[in-house]
Amino acid sequence: MKFGIDVGGTTVKIGVVEKNQIIDKFEIPTKKETLFQDICLFLKEYMKKKNIEQIEGIGFGLPGNVIGNYIHNLPNIGLENISLEEAIRPYFPEVKLLAQNDANVAALGEMLYHNEYKNACMLTLGTGVGCGIILNGKIVEGVHGAAGEVGHMIIADDYGFPCSCGLQGCLETVASATGIVRLAKYHYHEYKTKLKNEFTAKDVFDLAKKEDPLCLFVVDRVGYYIAKCLSILAVTVDVEVFYIGGGVSKAGDILIQTIQKYYQKVSHYAVKNVKIEAAKLLNDAGMLGAAGLI
Amino acid sequence: MKFGIDVGGTTVKIGVVEKNQIIDKFEIPTKKETLFQDICLFLKEYMKKKNIEQIEGIGFGLPGNVIGNYIHNLPNIGLENISLEEAIRPYFPEVKLLAQNDANVAALGEMLYHNEYKNACMLTLGTGVGCGIILNGKIVEGVHGAAGEVGHMIIADDYGFPCSCGLQGCLETVASATGIVRLAKYHYHEYKTKLKNEFTAKDVFDLAKKEDPLCLFVVDRVGYYIAKCLSILAVTVDVEVFYIGGGVSKAGDILIQTIQKYYQKVSHYAVKNVKIEAAKLLNDAGMLGAAGLI
């Protein structure tokens, strides 16, 4: 039995995992001051209640930069420079502990859930664009914890929108939720549309499904840039499958099909048969992947 | 003691390697019909002459697509579908055998030679553009043997030159030896130049060092696209160092400095301190890396 802990900005998801299945799950609020203490006390209480004496380990998915169990920063929570050992050890003196960035952990969770491939990338399309890369069943962490930061591939430099990272033309500037809104505003007067003055990425996809000309154009462009990113990943780490997850991916078939169409056009012949699929696990990927670290 | 075999289109380089040092080396001609037989007979003869009874293994770097010791094709030699086991086993019944693509093997050799990092990419700029990616001391092979095929990242789509792979705007179309000549011809009438009608990539670099306006412009563009490729690799696999090798890299400082300049402009803040260095091993990287597979 393992615990998989998915730490978010507002809640902490706690999963009890056995043989890559979540057998029990809980949520507690994320409190900056007592984050790791709250988690540990909850786990100890749970073990006592269930008469569990031993666990295999505790895995953590954390929203920030984590390298080798050292938490450099969790910007959305406002914490930095925390040693996982120091935070957890007082409560669990002999348990295996491992932590990773949440996009990486979600990718691992998705892969474990499908239980079909050992080489996969999962693109997370949300407020930003992240990616977890799994090679031979293991997360690629990178020496700066920056592996899979594909949101900052400069591949939309024909638009050249400024990115929050300081660069221009990053994938994130056109393929994140805010990027999609930005693209639609940029082309607002070029195509007919039923979009109001204020709208979200979800509105763009909803109207695209109703054949709104502007929204169709925007979804086409978003699919193109994501396909370009995947074609680059394919000739770099050459995996078996790409999973598309995150809030934006709820758009469903229309986005996946556009990505697949362009992927066939822009990918190298050796990697044309790589699968592109919607991620299946929504809220559970983090817990499952965090436990999978152990 | 290991043997590191670097198979090229015209010659096979055979290295005798001990503790990551080449202690003896030989060349034999590459003959399509008897390639592996020639190599094995040479090795057996060498071992007999030197009274060597046991070796740790034989590693091969091969110019083509190799996955899990199966040689799918060696286009420049005209061989395909060869099992390394079947080819070598009759001569060496109990020796460890491993084979990999030559760009991957050269990257491993370069890394072993420097003996400083365990996470590195080596870009090979020659007739084409290849790349070996080493993570935690191990070559990333990819499920189709296409890992590190960064010559086919579509990042020069503002030019959009057709690539031999069928795509347009691949890095290789502007950063290989032929790509550099192509760029110079494309801009031939826009800048003053001392380039004759027929010229090579080496001519472009030689004249750029003498401040020839066209050649300076071309080297600037080549450095820019390579930097863009490295910035993408950095947010994908996040290594410690990039080595620049291959025939084109003999241009030396002028190319490395241009790449470094643009890398600072186009790389994500988390990976700005990654080192970019000229590869040091020229002809020996393949042998050393092939032995390093063992």
Q: From CA B124, how far away is CA B244, in angstroms rounded?
A: 6
Question: What is the pLDDT at residue B80?
Answer: 93
Please list every residue in chain B whose beta carbon sits closer than 8 Å to the beta carbon of residue A152. Answer: 235, 268
**Strand A79-83 with A138-139, pairing:** unpaired
Query: Do A95 and A138 have their domain in common?
Result: no
pLDDT of residue B254: 95
Considering CB atoms only, which of B141, B232, B238 is closest to A153? Answer: B232
Checking if the pLDDT of B252 tops 90, the result is no
Beta carbons of B167 and A266 less than 8 Å apart: yes
Whether residues A142 and B240 touch (CB distance < 8 A) is answered with no
Q: Do B146 and A239 touch (CB under 8 A)?
A: no
ipTM of the complex: 0.92
Q: Is B270 an interface residue toward A (CB < 8 Å)?
A: yes
A290: pLDDT confidence band, cut at 50, 70 and 90? very high
Written as six digits, the tokens of B269 are 């803040």
Nearest CB among A141, A143, A266 relative to B240 is that of A143
- Asked if A172 and A266 sit in the same domain, the reply is yes
Q: Does B234 touch chain A (CB under 8 A)?
A: yes
Residue B249 has pLDDT above 90, yes or no: no
pTM assigned to the model: 0.92
Q: How far apart are CA A39 and CA A52, in angstroms?
A: 17
C-beta of residue A65 within 8 angstroms of C-beta of residue A104:
no
B221 touches chain A (CB under 8 A): no
Chain B residues 159-188 within an 8 A CB cutoff of chain A:
165-167
Contacting residues of B for A155, CB less than 8 Å apart: 155, 232
Residue B178 sits in the same domain as residue B97:
no
Q: Is residue B146 less than 8 Å (CB to CB) from chain A?
A: yes
Verify that A184 and A99 share a domain, yes or no: no
Q: Identify the pLDDT of residue B9.
A: 86
Distance between terminal CA atoms of chain B?
A: 10
Confidence of residue B75 (pLDDT cuts 50, 70, 90): confident
3-state SS, residue B157: coil
pLDDT(B127) > 90 = no
A138 in the same domain as A41: no
To the nearest whole number, what is the mean pLDDT of chain B? 95
- Which residues in chain A touch residue B148, judged by CB atoms under 8 angstroms apart? 235-236
- Chain B hits for A240, CB-CB cut-off 8 Å, are 143
Same domain, B202 and B95: no
Cβ neighbours around B68 below 10 Å, total: 11
The shortest C-alpha distance from A158 to chain B (Å) reads 8
Q: For residue A127, what pLDDT is reported? A: 85
pLDDT at B49 over 90: yes
Structure confidence by residue, pLDDT tens digits, A170-197: 999 999 999 999 999 999 999 999 999 8
Q: Chain A: nearest CA to B227, how far in angstroms? A: 11
Which residues of chain A lie closer than 8 angstroms to B234, CB-CB?
146
pLDDT digits (tens, 9 = 90+) for A244-279: 998 888 888 999 999 999 999 999 999 999 999 999
Are A266 and B150 an interchain contact pair (Cβ–Cβ within 8 Å)? no
Same domain, B95 and B129: no
B233 in A contact zone (CB under 8 Å): yes
Q: Which two tokens stand for residue B132?
A: 């070996």
3-state helix, strand, coil split of chain A in percent (to 5) is 40, 25, 35
The answer on A101 and A18 residing in a single domain is: yes
Asked if the model's pLDDT at residue B198 lies above 90, the reply is yes
Reported confidence tier of residue B232, pLDDT bands at 50, 70, 90: very high
Q: Does the beta carbon of A158 lie under 8 angstroms from any beta carbon of chain B?
A: yes
Q: Does B140 touch chain A (CB under 8 A)?
A: yes
Percent with pLDDT over 90 in chain A: 90
CB-closest option in A143, A154, A166 to B238: A143
Q: Are residues B133 and B266 in the same domain?
A: yes
Is residue A106 a contact partner of residue A213, using CB atoms and an 8 Å limit? no
Nearest to B228 among A154, A165, A238 (CB): A154
Looking at residue B209, its pLDDT comes to 96
Q: Which tokens hold the place of A274?
A: 């790589």
Chain B nearest-CA distance from A119, in A, is 8
Look up residue A219 and give its two tokens: 């979804």
**Domains identified in chain B, total number:** 2
Contact A133 B232 (CB under 8 A): no
Backbone CA torsion sign across A233, A239, A240, A245: negative
- Using the Cβ of B145 and the Cβ atoms of chain A, whether some distance falls under 8 Å is answered with yes
B189, pLDDT greater than 90:
yes
Mutate to test the interface with A, among B236, B262, B269 (most CBs of A within 10 A): B236
Q: Compare A10 and A209 and report the one with higher pLDDT.
A: A209
User: Count of CB contacts below 8 A, A vs B?
Assistant: 122
Residues forming a β-bridge with B73: B65, B80
B46: CB partners within 8 A, 6+ apart: B14, B16, B26, B52
Task: Please tell me if residue B264 touches chain A, with a CB cutoff of 8 Å.
Answer: no
Q: How far is A96 from chain B (nearest CA, A)?
A: 22
pLDDT band with cut points at 50, 70 and 90 for residue B188? very high
What is the token pair recorded at A294? 């152990």
Best of A118, A150, A164, A238 to disrupt the B interface (most B CBs within 10 Å) is A238
Residues A257 and A137 in one domain: yes
CATH number of the domain within which B181 lies = 3.30.420.40
Domain that holds residue B51: 2-108+284-292
B15-46: pLDDT as tens digits: 999 999 999 999 999 999 999 999 999 999 99
The yes-or-no verdict on residue B140 having pLDDT over 90 is: yes
Task: Tell me the percentage of chain A whose pLDDT exceeds 70.
Answer: 100
Answer yes or no: do A254 and A174 share one domain: yes
Strand positions, DSSP E, B129-179: 129-135, 138-139
Q: Decide if B41 touches A, using CB distance below 8 A.
A: no
Question: Sign of dihedral through CA atoms B265, B267, B270, B272?
Answer: negative
Average pLDDT over residues A45-54: 95
Angle at B292 between CA B48 and CA A104, to 5 degrees: 155
Residue B67 touches chain A, beta carbons under 8 Å:
no
Judged by CB atoms closer than 8 Å, whether chains meet at A238 and B144 is answered as yes
What does the alpha-carbon distance between residue A19 and residue A3 come to, in Å, rounded to a whole number? Answer: 12
* CB-CB neighbors (< 8 A) of A144 in chain B: 238, 270-271
pLDDT recorded at residue B282 = 78
A144 interfacial to chain B (CB closer than 8 Å): yes
The answer to whether the CB atoms of B165 and A234 lie below 8 A apart is no
Q: Are residues A124 and A265 in the same domain?
A: yes
Residue B119 and residue A143: Cβ atoms within 8 Å? yes
